[in-house]
Every structure is written in structure tokens, then in C-alpha cells.
Structure 1
């Protein structure tokens, strides 16, 4: 994958290439959310898009490339029923050559000690559909669709 300028470079109206590091992920998410492709989506669906892409991209940074770095390509295409996404990287393959099942981690509800991680793939699988993963010639290709059906309520915080 060709190198990209910092922190991200547009590869057309629906795609970009970023460095696989946290600052570039944050910049990419801001860029994606501001693009008409996503900015015109109902607020609740935009939050879903942001959450799913943040989980996927942070997994690439933390697992596929750790401790090294590289680049990640993100391609988005909107259609009447959703947003089709493809994330491509040259990092390490997913364990067992498949995307994780997305089960919730085990934790004790009687205490306040929630696990630090382990919720990412559960969220991805809960909010996206048509998830595909393949490793091809040293490249990871993760595809998924984020449904954009009837508006979902926008989260509000006190």
C-alpha cells in the first residue's frame, strides 16, 4: 500500500488512506463524519458509523500493526439501505484467519470492575452486517455494511 501524507490523504470522495496510529484514526473519523456521504445521514446513524469505524480502525492499530505501524485504506459507499465499508491493511492477519465472533467478555456484575477491552467485536457485530474478512497476498480486507434504516435515537448524555 503506498504511503500517505500525515495525518490522512483523500483518495477520492469515498475513500482515504491513513497512518495506522491513534492520531490519524481520530483525524480520519472527523473527516469521514464531515464528508457529505456521512454528514447527511440522520444523527443516530452517524453515531453508529463513528462507533463501528472507530472500533475497526483502533483494532487495526492495536492488533494488526502493534508494535509497528503502517497504513490503512478506508473505502465507503452509500446506498439506499446502508453504508458499505471496506478496510484494508497490511498488518498481521486475524487469529485463525477469521473475524472474531464478537462475544461479550465475562465479567462480574456484582462489582465495578468492568474489563478494559473485549467489547469491540461485540459492538461491530451488533451494529454492522454482511461482515466479511479475507487475507489475500499479505493484505487484510474487512468488509461490512452499516444499515441506515429508520432513524435511530441520538444518544444524549447528562
Structure 2
């Protein structure tokens, strides 16, 4: 009798958490950083703007990666969102690393997001980054209008 009760309790508590994770819409800005001189740090890398269409409007996301261990992301959206960086090192056997989510309160605000891997692993010359913008569902609906 304990097993069905425990299973029901587990499903009852886990299901809202799983649904909440999947409810938040996201927009991704993908970029690769190439290192020179066998992985020595670089002074800065400016990614090309990426245009995203939400509803009838277009928004350009930009990011800058510096050797101080941060990615600087902008908020081109007229609503509050949260940004996080996911790193995909090219040859590393560990899973991708996601940094802390940082709030971007208003439009044209920039935020510095700390990186986990500062240099590529031995024998590689690049790291791949994704800046993920997370939105509250109501705010995302406002973007569509």
C-alpha cells in the first residue's frame, strides 16, 4: 500500500515542476568563439547580430565574449527576460555547462554572465556558446502582438 501512495505523491509533486520548466518560451543566440595561438586568451569577440522573428516583429540579439570570463548579452526585447549562457566545448567529454540566469530588466540593458570554461581544451581552437533568453509566457505573448 505504501508504494502506490509514494508514487502518487511523487507524480503529484514532480508534474507541476516539469510543466513549469517547459512553459517558459526561449530564444537562442548561437555563436562560436575561435581562439588563436593554441588557445591563448583573446581580447574580445563580438558575435554577429542574429535576427529573431516573434509574431510580426524582428529583434536583433548580440553578445560579446571577453577574456575576463564573461559574456555580455543585450536585451533587445521590450519586456523583461532572463539570460543564461550554455557552453558546448568542442572536444570535452563533460556535458554542456549552463551558467546562472541573469535578469535583463528593460530594453537595451546589458548583463555580464560568467563563463565556466575560459579556454578551449587541449588541441581545440574553439568553444561554442548559446545565450538563451527565457520569457514569462505572458511577456512572450506581448512580444507577439
Query: Which TM-score band applies after superposition, normalised by the shorter structure?
Result: under 0.3
Larger relative CO (CA 8 A, sep 6+): 1 or 2? 2
TM-score w.r.t. the length of structure 2 is 0.27
| Structure number, greater radius of gyration | 2
Structure (1 or 2) with the greater helix fraction: 1
